[in-house]
A and B are shown apart, each in its own frame.
Chain A
């Protein structure tokens, strides 16, 4: 490791770097280990000393993907999460834009109301909703889950998109107005494309949030509409012999979609914090 810029070498710096590398490894190694285990036979997983060299097998994945519960969980997750994110974006982006750009008397209160959605403990939302969906005979359906998840995606998208729209330079919108655009055309043709990068980050956050959601799905589904996290958690109860390889494979399968967002989200963070720096 070479010493940074003009700083002289010191044990303090060396120690600091070791701490950072340790933290980085703690983020990576458990996930990699799970990944490795998902390719192992049971004998190689259940060994007294951890095995790094083994004959890889695809059996765990074949088993997991071949199970009806996993296949239907995957489809449910894709349909439910996809719909909730689309609805959240379609309703949330315009609302965020209006809140960011137009001086409204209630703007602060509306923003606080949107944020306060996050204070609601999930179990407190899930219990009454369970009774409501049962009475409407929509319990254990994708529709019920989509509607419930819209609460989460909509509030998240609004909350994160407001700063993204605020960051669009007012002069650009002014130029659009001079070109004869009306207020709606300015939103669709000027602000939306300019803010697109940050907005995709906001939507990605909404996606990760509901893809990973567990408690509400656990309480609002029993069989038909079960999402992937629920199916994955149930694999550990298959029998007295925990099928570790299968469990590891399903954990990896469940984690791939949100992990694909790592680039988008890190770009979102860079964009979100760069502007403040420029303004300062």
Chain B
């Protein structure tokens, strides 16, 4: 049965086939099913359901709480992505410019720690650090003013405080990546710029960072996708509160489907909208930012 070796091999089909099939089934089945449920009036624990077509969707657009959650989600997205990238570039450049190899390695290791923490852990660690009565970070305020400082209890500061934890986790990690990216750059442009007596910040602003445009856009993209997954952080730190000030779309869908009413079809219609919006947006951004 031994055949002579040829360039024709079935390896790609054998190797890619099973993985792709599993992915397709695991992704497409829930997606289609979410659409089906969203067109019905299913409730949690009930087996009978009838078709209501688009009434769930219609209802969404007069639901103030839904519109609020869209706003919170967009604010969250803009806030965490821009702050993460800003912090990452700042710290990455400082690491590259101002450290000796020993410090660079030590700090890089430390900067990776936050992103490895489960977000549930990170949420508890910071919730405790910001605790109004015995938090490590709030006691100086309490010691000076005599008043406890409860950042998570105010609608104004709650979202910022949760966002801080997200930026802490990702910004430090991305700083290490920015450092690695800077290390891959050839040294000549830096030297040329220095010969022209450019200031250090000018070398970065006009020479180094523009050369890293493509990978930095990819990083931003990764963070945009990742920011949509901050449910656990918000769930542990505020549960969407105080009021609905930190209630993101997935938080609202979760509480509609499971906590408050069990209206799984209504929650599903939100999930479908989210799926469509994020797929369209990310596909567009991906194609648009990719050099063809």
Contact = CB atoms under 8 A, between A and B. Distances in A.
A184 B5 CA distance: 12
Contacts of A261: 116
A26 B177 contact: no
Contacts of B5: 182
Interface in B73-129: 91, 94-95, 97-100, 103, 106-114, 116-121, 124-126, 128-129
Given A30-B125, A50-B139, A151-B26, A273 B113 contact: no
B163 interface: no
Contact of A129 (B23, B30, B106, B253): B30
A265 B109 CA distance: 9
Contacts of A273: 177, 180-181, 183-184
The A interface is mostly helix, strand or loop, or mixed, namely helix
A15 to B, nearest CB: 9
B110 A24 contact: yes
B54 interface: no
Nearest to B287: A112
B9 interface: yes
A214 B286 CA distance: 27
Contacts of B95: 20
A27 B113 contact: yes
B70 to A, nearest CB: 13
A78 to B, nearest CB: 14
A124 B113 contact: no
Nearest to A16: B98
Interface stretch (A63-71, A95-103, A166-174): A95-103
Interface in B3-18: 5, 9, 11-12, 14-16, 18
B10 to A, nearest CB: 9
Interface residues of A, number: 97
B37 to A, nearest CB: 6
Contacts of A20: 91, 94-95, 98-99, 103, 107
Nearest to A152: B26
Contact of B42 (A112, A122, A131): A131
Given A119-B282, A127-B257, A244-B128, A17 B19 contact: no
Given A94-B15, A215-B250, A251-B121, A124 B34 contact: yes
B117 A49 contact: no
The B interface is mostly helix, strand or loop, or mixed, namely helix
23 contacts: A20-B99, A27-B168, A27-B172, A28-B110, A92-B19, A104-B12, A113-B24, A120-B279, A121-B250, A123-B231, A124-B34, A132-B29, A132-B33, A183-B11, A214-B231, A214-B235, A215-B254, A219-B254, A232-B124, A254-B121, A259-B113, A273-B180, A280-B185
Interface of B: 5, 9, 11-12, 14-16, 18-20, 22-24, 26-27, 29-31, 33-34, 37, 42, 91, 94-95, 97-100, 103, 106-114, 116-121, 124-126, 128-129, 133-134, 136, 139, 142-143, 168, 172, 175-177, 180-181, 183-186, 225, 228-229, 231-232, 235-236, 249-250, 253-254, 257-258, 264, 267-268, 271-272, 274-275, 278-279, 282-283, 286
Interface of A: 2, 4-5, 13, 16-17, 19-20, 23-24, 26-31, 33-34, 37, 45-50, 91-92, 94-95, 97-99, 102, 104, 110, 112-125, 127-132, 147-148, 150-151, 154-155, 158, 182-184, 187, 208, 211-212, 214-215, 218-219, 229, 232-233, 236, 244, 247-248, 251, 254-255, 258-259, 261-262, 265-266, 269-270, 272-274, 276-277, 280
